[in-house]
């Protein structure tokens, strides 16, 4: 540009003085030069900006690297899908744009028979709101149908929907969410934060349950509850070494995909949400406490032939043990008198301390939506202490009972149950309560319950099941308890030669005479027959049915 500029040396030396007409041309050239300079400056600025603004591809890639979901998938310990988030559509309306609310409502009702006319019209005429929801959870086919209708002001909106592929299986474990994916029950509620966080990271939440064992436990509980005309049932299977819950069943059950059609009674979790007086399933702890405190020995003989009077209350056995009895007999024949005498030796303070350490006086830590706190008032006198010795005066959940029974699978230490699958080398917190010698001794007695005592129906040839039956009368009779309504249960540990698993089965509101040994113990045997191979345990083949 310089040769053409006004200050050019050459222009003075070589060219004659520029004529006056050339001035506008020079200005144009200057203007052009400035314009080009400005454009180049802009380009330079933009190139600097691009140079320092990073890679746009990398940015968009990182934004879509993880497909985040509002709620993560829930899978069982083997990766079987239990709950997932799928696409769904909502039928929406913009009332301000709806041309004829009546005609629109009629047309929609032809395609969605579930819609009710009055509420639908009310929503279509609700011009205070920009958008209103008319129906949720539409399928892809329904969405296409709505689009094809081309109704003015009517549209569909994409949303997420929680789907439970296993249907009613494990319903009380998994729980369910509301239409807006707000958790309502089960691990959906108990592990809500974990499920949301996992959803953001695009990973699944792995539970400790195994759907195969879950199915076996549920079907056996269902069959037994119907046969016993029970009002409810609860069952739980734990890996007693780690606290992992392998199966957890409540009866009656429900389908979380059709939550609107279920009753509140069916949705109730009876394992961690219902409390009951435990009955005789607490007796092994009474015996263990006495052994631990050196208040009794395995060879000691007790005269249990007569009822025991404590503070004007008579404690007796339904079938008094004639002659002398040992600790083994107290458990095998489920003697209330024997357990009461041991409890009285122990005293209220020590008994309470043991019950607290066994986790029977505080709510469970299991990650379920409903965790019912136990009803565990402090013993007011000798009568209460004696009653606690054989399972009265303390109401707690079946999951707390199962957790307490883990002392027999951990050499006297208790582990807290969990719904999450643990890594093989994961640390497990254990609370030492009894010495290994004491729990081994009590295990011998629990095995005797199944071989010679009240729990014979729980026996599975080849598996060495140990456990204790329990039958607690329900409150409600004229004298406080109703003899015709029982809470019948069985708490077991297996295999007895290398205790690892804990199973508790309970049936609520069974009839008179339907003891734990008659209605709950068979459920344990039948369930264990089915699941033992899944646990790598061998059982002897069942005798062919006649």
Partner 1 sequence: MGKITLKRWLQIGAGLLIVVLAVGLYRAKSDAARTENEVHRLNGEIAEREARVRELRADIAEQESPARIEQLNADRLGHVVGSESAALPENQIANRLPAPQPEEQTGRE
Among 208, 250, 253, 280, the active-site one is 280
| Residue choice 123, 172, 333, 370 for contact with partner 1 (CB under 8 A) | 333
Binding to partner 1 (CB under 8 A) within 53-82 occurs at 56-57, 60-61, 64, 67, 80-82
Map the footprint of partner 1 across residues 354-373, applying CB under 8 A: none
Show the tokens assigned to 449.
């319950």
Does residue number 12 form part of the binding site for partner 1 (CB under 8 A)? no
From 245, 334, 410, 439, residue interacting with partner 1 (rule: CB under 8 A): 334
Q: Is 348 helix (H, G, I), strand (E, B) or coil?
A: helix
Instruction: Indicate the residue among 117 and 226 with the shorter CB distance to partner 1.
Output: 226
Nearest to 441 by CA among 343, 525, 333, 331: 331
Q: Which is nearer to partner 1, 56 or 299 (CB)?
A: 56
Sign of the C-alpha dihedral computed for residues 63, 64, 65 and 68 taken in this order: positive
- Site for partner 1, residues 507 to 536, rule: CB under 8 A: 513, 515-518, 522, 525-526, 529-530
* One character per residue 289-328, x = contact with partner 1 (rule: CB under 8 A): ----------------------------xxx---------
Measured in degrees and rounded to the nearest 5, phi and psi for residue 108 equal -65, -40
- Provide the minimum distance between the beta carbon of 161 and partner 1 in the complex, in angstroms, as a whole number: 10
251: which 2 tokens? 């009866």
Mark whether 403 is an active-site residue: no
CB atoms within 10 A of CB 392: 22
Where does this chain touch partner 1 (CB under 8 A) — which range of 158-166, 177-185, 263-271, 381-389? 158-166
Site size for partner 1 (CB under 8 A): 64
Tokens found for residue 464: 């060495």
Task: Look at phi and psi of residue 116 and say left if phi exceeds 0, alpha if psi is from -120 to 50, else beta.
Answer: beta
Contact 132, 123 (CB under 8 A): yes
Instruction: Pick the stretch among 94-102, 305-313, 393-401, 463-471 that binds partner 1 (CB under 8 A).
Output: 463-471
46 makes contact with partner 1 (CB under 8 A): yes
Task: Give, as ranges, the residues between 469 and 488 that touch partner 1 (CB under 8 A).
Answer: 469-471
Q: Which of 5, 167, 381, 511 binds partner 1 (CB under 8 A)?
A: 167
Interacting residues with partner 1 between 437 and 456 (CB under 8 A):
454, 456
| Cα-based angle 492, 498, 501 (whole degrees, multiple of 5) | 40
Give the whole-angstrom CA distance, residue 237 versus residue 214: 9
DSSP codes of every residue in 284-296: HHHHHHHHHTTS-
In this chain, which of 98, 169, 291, 407 binds partner 1, going by CB under 8 A? 169
Q: What is the DSSP string of 168-230?
A: TTTHHHH--B-TT--B-SHHHHHTHHHHHHHHHHT-PEEBS--HHHHHHHHHHHHHHHHHTT-
Q: How far apart are CA 217 and CA 224, in angstroms?
A: 11
Q: Examine residue 40 and tell whether it contacts partner 1 (CB under 8 A).
A: yes
Site track for partner 1 across 196-225, x = CB under 8 A: ---------------xx-xxx--xx-xxx-
Q: What angle, 0 to 180 degrees and rounded to 10, lies between the N-to-C axes of helices 101-111 and 140-149?
A: 150
- What are the structure tokens assigned to 275, written together? 């409390």
Q: Is 324 helix (H, G, I), strand (E, B) or coil?
A: strand
Is position 10 an interface residue for partner 1 (rule: CB under 8 A)? Answer: yes
Contacts with partner 1, residue ranges (CB under 8 A): 1, 3, 10, 39-40, 43, 46-47, 50, 56-57, 60-61, 64, 67, 80-82, 84-87, 163, 165-167, 169, 211-212, 214-216, 219-220, 222-224, 226-227, 279-280, 317-319, 333-334, 454, 456-457, 468-471, 513, 515-518, 522, 525-526, 529-530, 545
Catalytic residues: 280
């Amino acid at each position: 540009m310089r040769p053409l500029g006004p200050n050019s040396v050459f222009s003075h030396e070589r060219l004659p003085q520029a004529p006056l007409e050339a001035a506008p041309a020079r200005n144009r050239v200057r203007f052009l030069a400035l314009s080009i300079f400005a454009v180049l400056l802009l380009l330079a600025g933009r190139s600097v900006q691009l140079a320092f603004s990073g890679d746009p591809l990398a940015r968009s890639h990182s934004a879509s690297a993880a497909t985040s979901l509002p709620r993560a998938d829930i899978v069982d310990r083997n990766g079987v899908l239990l709950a997932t988030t799928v696409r769904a559509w909502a039928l929406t309306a913009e009332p301000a744009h709806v041309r004829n609310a009546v005609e629109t409502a009629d047309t929609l009702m032809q395609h969605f028979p579930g819609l009710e006319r009055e509420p639908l019209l009310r929503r279509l005429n609700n011009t205070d709101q920009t958008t209103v929801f008319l129906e949720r959870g539409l399928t892809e086919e329904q969405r296409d149908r709505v689009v094809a209708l081309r109704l003015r002001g009517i549209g569909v909106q994409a949303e997420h929907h929680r789907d439970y592929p296993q249907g009613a299986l494990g319903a009380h474990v998994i729980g369910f969410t509301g239409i807006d994916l707000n958790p309502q029950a089960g691990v959906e509620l108990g592990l809500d934060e974990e499920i949301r966080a996992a959803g953001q990271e695009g990973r699944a939440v792995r539970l400790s349950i195994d759907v195969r064992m879950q199915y076996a436990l549920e079907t056996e509980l269902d069959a037994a509850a119907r046969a016993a005309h029970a009002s409810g049932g609860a069952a739980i299977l734990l890996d007693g070494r780690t606290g992992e819950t392998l199966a957890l069943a409540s009866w009656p059950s429900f389908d979380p995909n059709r939550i609107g059609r279920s009753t509140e009674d069916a949705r109730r979790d009876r394992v961690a949400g219902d409390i009951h007086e435990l009955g005789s399933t607490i007796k092994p702890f009474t015996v263990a406490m006495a052994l631990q405190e050196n208040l009794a020995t395995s060879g000691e003989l007790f005269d249990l032939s007569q009822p025991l009077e404590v503070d004007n209350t008579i404690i007796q056995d339904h079938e008094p043990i004639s002659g002398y009895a040992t600790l083994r007999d107290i458990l095998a024949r489920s003697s209330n008198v024997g357990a009461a005498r041991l409890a009285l030796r122990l005293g209220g303070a020590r008994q309470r301390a043991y019950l607290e350490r066994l986790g029977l006086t505080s709510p469970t830590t299991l990650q379920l939506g409903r965790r019912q706190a136990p009803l565990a008032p402090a013993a007011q006198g000798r009568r209460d202490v004696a009653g606690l010795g054989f399972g009265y005066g303390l109401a707690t959940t079946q999951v707390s009972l199962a957790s307490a029974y883990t002392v027999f699978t951990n050499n006297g230490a208790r582990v807290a149950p969990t719904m999450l699958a643990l890594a093989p080398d994961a640390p497990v917190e254990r609370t030492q309560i009894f010495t290994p010698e004491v729990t081994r001794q009590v295990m011998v007695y629990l095995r005797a319950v199944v071989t010679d005592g009240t729990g014979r129906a729980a026996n599975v040839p080849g598996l060495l099941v140990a456990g204790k039956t329990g039958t607690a009368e329900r409150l409600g009779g004229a004298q406080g308890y109703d003899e015709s309504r029982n809470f019948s249960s069985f708490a077991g540990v297996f295999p007895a030669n290398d205790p690892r698993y804990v199973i508790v089965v309970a049936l609520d509101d069974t009839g008179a005479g339907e003891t734990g040994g008659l209605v709950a113990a068979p459920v344990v045997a039948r369930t264990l027959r089915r699941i033992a191979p899944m646990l790598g345990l061998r059982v002897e083949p069942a005798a062919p049915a006649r």
